[in-house]
Amino acid sequence: MSRARIYDGRIVLTTFGSLGDLNPFIALARGLQARGFRPVIATSAYHRDTVRGAGIAFHPLRPDLDPDDKDLLCRAMHPRRGTEVILRDIVFPSLRETYTDLDACLRNTDVLITHSISYAGHIAAEKRDLTWISVVLAPIVFLSAYDMPVLQGFPFQIYMGRLRPATNRLLIKIIKFVTRGWCRPVRRLRKVLRLAPGKHPIFEGQFSPHLVLAMFSSVLARPRPDWPPNTCLTGYGFYDAAAEQNDLPPELELFFNAGPPPVVFALGSVAVYTAGKFYHMAAKAADMLKRRAVLIVGKDTDNLPAEGLPPNVIAVDYVPYSKLFPKAAAIVHQGGIGTTGQALQAGKPTLVVPFAHDQPDNARRLERLGISKTLLLRRCSARAMARVLDELLADADCINRADQIGQKMRSEDGVAVACNAIEAFLTVKKKRI
């Protein structure tokens, strides 16, 4: 394979998951495309139209996602076992098929950019001796002993952030030991491909030895001594397809113009399918507060109370967060990293009701900033929502801090920083060949 072909401009980006996992890769791909590169996004076939609609070439990878499989989504969003379900029941069983699909896409390129759980990409990069760049979308992924995250499934997780780094390192060793059994399919595939067992794929094995792009804001986390030394903290990479295609629906514009800013309730692109009684509680909480509210409920009519909504509350299936959040008085959301970024950029106080995965950790980080409060799902009720929202909306310091952070976020350009880092790395690599 000719190494000179590295710089023909074709770059493959591979990701897996929800829109929160896809949109930053689309943003990065579009940034690279504007600089003359030819990006291809390899991911689940379910995202084909979204990727192509953004003007980016697409390559399908198994497994595909089925947003109508409510049972699987509920298990994937389980507050204790959700991450294990995604890895052990979805990602790892399909690893060989994913590798086969991705390998076909990589025949014409030597540059690969991977998502944290793109394990087939991590393996392909080593097998094909590719120029490999990895992307981290949330601080939790670094599992730093100096900034211990809130983790799923660990009953002592709320105390981790208060422990010394030495104690946290011991806990990290336990976590790695517990999760090592999940990764047998990775080790088996590496053996078939005649590769060494490698590092723990969920943790240090996912980081490129060449360049790691941390695509979140320094507002949420700053580099720590145990982050990979080749990490570039870029800031968020935002992409909101619907925001480029249309404005707010006319009925929503009328609603906004008819009174003071409402509270917005949103659950991202996955938790919205497993909302349970969340929107029932939201509507009741808004009514209790005599506050106007917008509920972004998706396409599941079961999300809405059968008795209808109070007159001060409106429900829509979806609205671009980048256009809706800045018009809110406060935002109630699940704490997904993408939704968190949009809320931060809007500069509004938030109430986070985390469901699973990185959401509890993101919630804690927002709370540290003094702009948010957290309400655990198992303790969530209309009365609790109303009480916490009332406190937030009466806190002038919280509102001012959120606005200041929003201004800082809007000054960041994560895509530009990431593209600069990629170009600089490729330039240095080319000079060494």
List domains and CATH numbers for the chain: 3-236+413-432 (3.40.50.2000), 243-411 (3.40.50.2000)
Q: Which residues, including other chains, have CB under 8 Å from residue 115's CB and lie 6 or more apart?
A: 14, 15, 16, 17, 21, 25, 121, 135, 137
Give, for 38, the enclosing helix (H) or strand (E).
strand 38-44
Given this model, what pLDDT does residue 158 score? 47
Residue 249 confidence (pLDDT): 83
pLDDT for 163: 76
| Rounded Cα distance, 87 and 203, in Å | 13
Residue with tokens 């609603």: 255
**Residue 230 to residues 135, 136, 223, 418, Cα–Cα distance (Å):** 12, 12, 11, 13
Give the pLDDT of residue 156: 46
Pairwise CA distance, residues 270 & 126, whole Å: 32
Q: What is the pLDDT of residue 154?
A: 56
Q: Which residues of the chain have pLDDT under 70?
A: 1-8, 152-162, 242-246, 301, 430-433
Residue 23 has what pLDDT? 95
Length of the chain: 433
Packed helices 278-289 and 382-393: angle between N→C axes, nearest 10 degrees: 50
Per residue in 52-61, pLDDT (tens digit) is: 999 999 999 9
The predicted-structure confidence for 198-227, as pLDDT tens digits, reads as follows 999 999 999 999 999 999 999 999 999 999
Query: CB atoms < 10 A from the CB of 353, how many?
Result: 25
Structure tokens at 150: 């809130």
Give the 3-state DSSP-derived string for 368-422, with helices as H, strands as E and coil as C.
HCCCEEECCHHHCCHHHHHHHHHHHHCCHHHHHHHHHHHHHHHHCCHHHHHHHHH
